[in-house]
Amino acid sequence: MIVEVSRPATATAGMAPATARTAPANALPALPAFAFVAVLVGLPLATVFYEAFRSGLAAAASVFSEPYAQSAIVLTLEVAATTVTVNTLFGVLAAWTIAKYRFPGKAWLIAAIDLPLTVSPVVAGLAILLTFGPHAPLGAWFIAHGVHVVFAFPGIVLATIFVTFPYVARTYTTYLLEQGRELEEAALSLGASVWQTLRKVTLPSSRWALLTGVLLCNARAMGEFGAVSVVSGRIRGLTDTVPLHVEILYNEDAFVGAFALSAALATLTMAFSALRTVAERRGQSEGAAPKNP
Amino acid sequence: MRRSLGLIVSRDVVPGRTLALGTTIALATLAVLMPLAVVVLVATTADWRTLGPELISPRMTAAFRLTFGASLAAALLDVVCGTYIAWVLVRRRFTGIALLDALVDVPLAIPTAVAGIALATLYGAHGWAGAFLEAHGLHVAYTPLGIGIALAFVGLPFAVRAVAPVLAALPKEYEEAAKSLGANQAITFARVVLPQLVPAILAGFALALARGLGEYGSVLFISGNLPLRTEIAPLLIMAKLEEYDYQGAAAIATVLLLSSFSLLLAIAALQRRLTARSVRA
């Protein structure tokens, strides 16, 4: 009896047809999944590169010699660098605070940091516009002191910070919570200061988890569109980022330029996304990294 | 003994709580909470005698119905296909799986404006998919169907990535036990695997839905933005901004914020109840 049950062929003999088990390869049940993802995701991705290069390499490359495209690329890199710096510093602080201290209302703080994930980018941009715009008290104060926030670099950065606010904090908090605080307690009891503990104990042991969040934040920051399009004012050569310039070119029927710029931007953000996966796997192989960032 | 000692130590040893907590709250308030509060505040200062009727006008209700309908349909498609894709990713091992794994993350990795113009071109009259479908009488570009496809595109990674880790953590023994007792693959999945995934599937549903309700860039180009037909709620906000009607924009944004939050809170509550039940069982 026992021997019979443990033998799969005998066990299924009189039951439902054992087609799945006798299928020649593991791959067969995966085919519909492949087909679905190929149509829904693969085709749009292929469209980007096909449309970019359909008139040849030279036509695609010519968009990068346009001054407006060049200034958009510079602006996007500056915005991404500023946003990632701010959100990384905040992410480390927030993760350290949430993981290492006890305080009431911790769940509320986590929910507040995650809030931008459920807010429309357009609403995010509107929030920055209404808070720092010329009609708002805060915006008027900034203008009185010679700083233009909205329709200028600071506004674009603030909108991008809002949208990408949770990415570093979320990944890094999950990781630090899993790690507990024994290492920090040991360092502190041996006489290290908080700053030394963070720099020499916490950060080195968690660098891959931090990098995972930073790379994700960077990929999102470079591609942000909705929030930035509300606050940028779209002044060509000044407040026009790469995603906004893609929209301008597309609406002007400059399809090759729009898709060439898109292909370059998508390649960059996909590379950062792939690096993120590498960092995540590296962290997992070196210790327990966040399973669900 | 050790545990109680640990509690005392952890409460005393890590200094700087006030400073760290204070700075974190201040930054979160400045960057996120204050701007959102300003939106609600500006909405309350609007002239509601003219704004009230406008909010329930056919154009507004059509946009909100379309936003919620298309987001719900797309999130539903995403979790059904996403759960199956997650199962393939976790349980099947063969060459080519890395490609599937990478493709699933693409909608998260590429900018929404890029996805938007790609989808509009692909499903346009001259696109690969659009030309084929229009020859068979199916119009995708400038229809609610196109909006649904764009939202399914952006939501797919959330559905897959919410389910895959939970599925990977499930002991394979349950499935093997079910098989050895004579259940085929479909029954094993439906009766043994699926019930344990329900909280994760709901989480993926909520994430995909949240993304869909606010989505702008990937929908903008394929929707055509025809009032009453293919205009979504974030586009209404843009239309108000183009008229410099900030209070109207804030009012629509507040309605969108509140309706999305209540829907997501309801899903979170349902998820908590189901998780509590499966823990008890």
The per-residue DSSP string of B66-113 comes to HHHHHHHHHHHHHHHHHHHHHHHHHH---TTHHHHHHHHHHHHHS-HH
Q: Check pLDDT > 90 for residue A24.
A: no
- B114 and B31, same structural domain? no
Lowest-confidence region among A5-19, A115-129, B53-67: A5-19
User: What is the mean pLDDT of the segment spanning A243-267?
Assistant: 97
Q: Please list every residue in chain A whose beta carbon sits closer than 8 Å to the beta carbon of residue B233.
A: 120
Say whether B94 and A109 touch across the interface (CB within 8 A). Answer: no
**First CA to last CA distance, chain B:** 32
* Cβ atoms of B229 and B139 closer than 8 Å: no
CA-CA-CA-CA dihedral for B195, B198, B199, B203, to nearest 10: 160
Estimate to the nearest angstrom the gap between the alpha carbon of A199 and the chain centroid: 25
Has residue B5 been placed in a domain?
A: no
Q: Check pLDDT > 60 for residue A136.
A: yes
Q: Please list every residue in chain A whose beta carbon sits closer than 8 Å to the beta carbon of residue B213.
A: 120
Q: Please list every residue in chain B whose beta carbon sits closer than 8 Å to the beta carbon of residue A123.
A: 39, 214, 234, 237, 253, 256-257
Cα gap A217→A158, rounded to integer Å: 14
If you measure CA to CA, which chain B residue comes closest to A96? B20
What pLDDT shows up at residue B72?
97
Say whether A262 and B117 touch across the interface (CB within 8 A). Answer: yes
* Cβ atoms of A121 and A224 closer than 8 Å: yes
For B127, list phi and psi in degrees, rounded to 5.
Answer: -80, 165
Gyration radius (Cα) of chain A, Å: 25
Q: Closest partner residue to B114 among A18, A43, A246, by Cβ?
A: A246
Interface of A with B in 53-82 (CB under 8 A): none
Q: Check pLDDT > 50 for residue A254.
A: yes
Q: Check pLDDT > 70 for residue A64.
A: yes
Q: Name the token pair of A138.
A: 């805060």
Nearest partner of A43 among B71, B150, B86, judged by Cα:
B150
Count: domains in chain B: 2
Q: Which domain holds residue B26?
A: 11-44
Cα gap A110→A108, rounded to integer Å: 5
Q: Please list every residue in chain B whose beta carbon sits closer than 8 Å to the beta carbon of residue A133.
A: 246
Cα–Cα distances in Å, from A141 out to A132, A137, A149, B37?
A: 9, 6, 11, 19
Cβ count within 10 A of residue A207: 14
Any residues with CB less than 8 A from the CB of B196 and at least 6 apart, and which?
B166, B170, B278
- B162 and B61, same structural domain? yes
Q: Please list every residue in chain A whose beta carbon sits closer than 8 Å to the beta carbon of residue B31.
A: 90, 158, 161-162, 165
For A133, list phi and psi in degrees, rounded to 5.
Answer: -70, 170
Question: Of 1.10.3720.10, 1.10.132.10, 3.40.50.720, 1.10.490.10, which CATH number belongs to A54-286?
Answer: 1.10.3720.10
Nearest partner of A164 among A88, A73, A245, judged by Cα:
A88
Query: What is the nearest CA distance from B108 to chain A, expressed in angstroms?
Result: 8
Q: Please list every residue in chain A whose beta carbon sits closer than 8 Å to the beta carbon of residue B263.
A: none
- B31 and B105, same structural domain? no
* Cβ atoms of A121 and A127 closer than 8 Å: no
Query: What is the nearest CA distance from B249 to chain A, expressed in angstroms?
Result: 8
Has residue B82 been placed in a domain?
A: yes
Any residues with CB less than 8 A from the CB of B188 and at least 6 apart, and which?
B175, B178, B179
Between chain A and chain B, the number of residue pairs with CB atoms below 8 A apart is 288
Say whether A120 and B213 touch across the interface (CB within 8 A). Answer: yes
Query: What is the nearest CA distance from A120 to chain B, expressed in angstroms?
Result: 4
Query: What is the nearest CA distance from B7 to chain A, expressed in angstroms?
Result: 10
What pLDDT shows up at residue A26?
62
Say whether B100 and A33 touch across the interface (CB within 8 A). Answer: yes
Q: Please list every residue in chain A whose beta carbon sits closer than 8 Å to the beta carbon of residue B98.
A: none
Cα–Cα distances in Å, from B207 out to A263, B68, B102, B202?
A: 27, 14, 20, 9
What pLDDT shows up at residue B14?
80
pLDDT in tens, A74-90: 999 999 999 999 999 99
- B116 and B86, same structural domain? yes
- B87 and B21, same structural domain? no
- B221 and B87, same structural domain? yes
Q: Where are the domains of chain A?
A: 54-286
For an interface test with B, the pick among A83, A119, A160, A273 (most B C-beta atoms closer than 10 Å) comes out as: A119
State the ipTM, two decimals: 0.90
pLDDT band at A25 (very low <50, low <70, confident <90, very high): low
- B68 and B186, same structural domain? yes
Q: Closest partner residue to B256 among A113, A120, A250, by Cβ?
A: A120
pLDDT in tens, A203-228: 998 999 999 999 999 999 999 999 99
What pLDDT shows up at residue B281?
54
Cβ count within 10 A of residue A165: 29
Q: Please list every residue in chain A whose beta carbon sits closer than 8 Å to the beta carbon of residue B14.
A: 100-101, 181, 184-185, 188, 194
Q: Please list every residue in chain A whose beta carbon sits closer than 8 Å to the beta carbon of residue B128.
A: 43, 47
- B242 and B206, same structural domain? yes
Say whether A44 and B115 touch across the interface (CB within 8 A). Answer: yes
What pLDDT shows up at residue A287?
62
Q: Closest partner residue to B39 among A113, A121, A123, by Cβ?
A: A123
Per-residue pLDDT of chain B (281 residues; tens, 9 = 90+): 344 444 444 454 688 899 999 999 999 999 999 999 999 999 998 888 888 888 889 999 999 999 999 999 999 999 999 999 999 999 877 778 889 999 999 999 999 999 999 999 999 999 999 999 999 999 999 999 999 999 999 999 999 999 999 999 988 888 888 888 988 878 888 888 888 899 999 999 999 999 999 999 999 999 988 989 999 999 999 999 999 999 999 999 999 999 889 988 888 888 888 877 766 55
- B68 and B20, same structural domain? no
Cα–Cα distances in Å, from B211 out to A188, B95, B180, B206, B231?
A: 42, 32, 41, 9, 17
Q: Check pLDDT > 70 for residue A11.
A: no
Cα–Cα distances in Å, from B38 out to A154, A281, B251?
A: 18, 41, 11
Say whether A122 and B81 touch across the interface (CB within 8 A). Answer: no
Say whether A112 and B32 touch across the interface (CB within 8 A). Answer: yes
Q: Check pLDDT > 90 for residue A16.
A: no
Q: At B244, which CATH number?
A: 1.10.3720.10
Q: Check pLDDT > 60 for residue A12.
A: no
- B34 and B58, same structural domain? no
Query: What is the nearest CA distance from B277 to chain A, expressed in angstroms?
Result: 22
pLDDT band at A283 (very low <50, low <70, confident <90, very high): confident
Say whether B118 and A47 touch across the interface (CB within 8 A). Answer: yes
DSSP A95-126: HHHHHH---TTHHHHHHHHHGGGGS-HHHHHH
Q: Name the token pair of A89.
A: 């510093």
* Cβ atoms of A214 and A168 closer than 8 Å: yes
What pLDDT shows up at residue B186?
82
- B57 and B35, same structural domain? no
- B57 and B24, same structural domain? no
Q: Check pLDDT > 50 for residue A4.
A: no
Say whether A45 and B15 touch across the interface (CB within 8 A). Answer: no
Using CB atoms within 10 Å of the CB of residue A80, give its burial: 0 to 12 exposed, 13 to 18 middle, 19+ buried: buried
Please tell me if residue A129 touches chain B, with a CB cutoff of 8 Å.
yes
Query: What is the nearest CA distance from A103 to chain B, expressed in angstroms?
Result: 9
Cα–Cα distances in Å, from A185 out to A100, A175, B86, B119, B238?
A: 10, 17, 39, 53, 51
Has residue B4 been placed in a domain?
A: no
What pLDDT shows up at residue B208?
95
What pLDDT shows up at residue A293?
42
Q: Closest partner residue to B111 among A32, A269, A291, by Cβ?
A: A269
